[in-house]
Amino acid sequence: MAIYESEHTKFMREWLKAHPEELEVQRQGRALWWDKPQDLKETAANTASSVKNKAYYYQNEV
């Protein structure tokens, strides 16, 4: 029994074989937004300084 592979997945595999330079562009784009070093102290400070939301956000205070 064969494992299903969508037409899009097949297209992308073939396209990346024909254009291997795009993998480097993909890595650069990912590094631009996601692959950043994490500062645990800064993350903890951001979490501690957040304001808790109300149970029902749109409720008016009377």
Q: Express each pLDDT in 30-46 by its tens digit.
A: 888 887 888 999 999 99
Please report, for residues 6, 7, 17, 36, 43, the alpha-carbon distance to residue 26 in angstroms, rounded to integers and kept in the order given: 21, 21, 14, 15, 27
Q: Is the pLDDT of residue 60 over 80?
A: no
47 vs 2, higher pLDDT: 47
**Amino acid identity, residue 47?**
T
Q: How far apart are CA 62 and CA 47, in angstroms?
A: 29
Average pLDDT of span 6-30: 94
The answer to whether the predicted template modeling score (pTM) of the entire model surpasses 0.75 is: no
What beta strand segments (E) does the chain contain? Answer: none
